[in-house]
Amino acid sequence: MRCKGVALFSRFAGPCLVAGLTLSPAFSQAADEDPWEGVNRAVFRFNDTLDTYTLKPIAKAYDTVTPQFLEDGIHNMFNNVGDVTNLVNNVLQAKPAAAGKDTARLIFNTTFGLLGFFDVGTRMGLQRSEEDFGQTLGYWGVSSGPYVMLPFFGPSTVRDAIGKYPDTYARPYRYIDHVPTRNTILGADIIDTRASLLSAEKLINGDKYLFLRNAYLQNREFKVKDGQVEDDF
């Protein structure tokens, strides 16, 4: 299943937060990391309402009318652009092997994959990484800070929220001067992201806010520590 992020209104949250999730007992104490829960819940209700009546219907329509091969190709193209962010952050984290894979993926997917429409890199054994500046800060020891729900962007922490701005320098939208073109590409990216989350929603149960908060915090710890997370039993 394709999965890029669990924030219901943007691609800029951490990837694959819901799919395949197994919450560890350590996150039963996630409330200690959410001192602003009252405000966060209000923002979450705003995001969820806006998503329910705007973005989700558009994404469902897109998913219905777009042939699967075309939808997959568009998704791959946005992933290919995202590999630039992965490459930059792997370099900043002093991970030469991962940065080398990102570079190879960009070369092969952009050329042989027709600007990324076909993910030939993965077929060659070059697995895609998921890196951002929030992870880079965490890699070098910066604490995540309190959990925060951002308007439009969804789940985050203080550290990850700060990290979103530097990442914009590795994304193409910042360098497109023609406003209609920039907005069209950005809108297509958001719709593609939302469509990729439609099936993952079925895994959400109980209090939706708590589920997404715990999922986000667990996923971010997993990502920052490159999967080396100890369960607190």
Nearest to 41 by CA among 160, 147, 143: 147
Span 160-204, pLDDT tens digits: 999 999 999 999 888 999 999 999 999 999 999 999 999 988 889
pLDDT-based confidence at 231, cuts 50/70/90? low
Span 11-36, pLDDT tens digits: 434 444 444 344 444 444 555 789 99
* Residue 218 to residue 148: CA distance in whole angstroms: 14
Amino acid (1-letter code) at residue 32: D
- Crossing angle, helix 68-92 and helix 179-196, to 10 degrees? 100
* Residue 188 to residue 62: CA distance in whole angstroms: 10
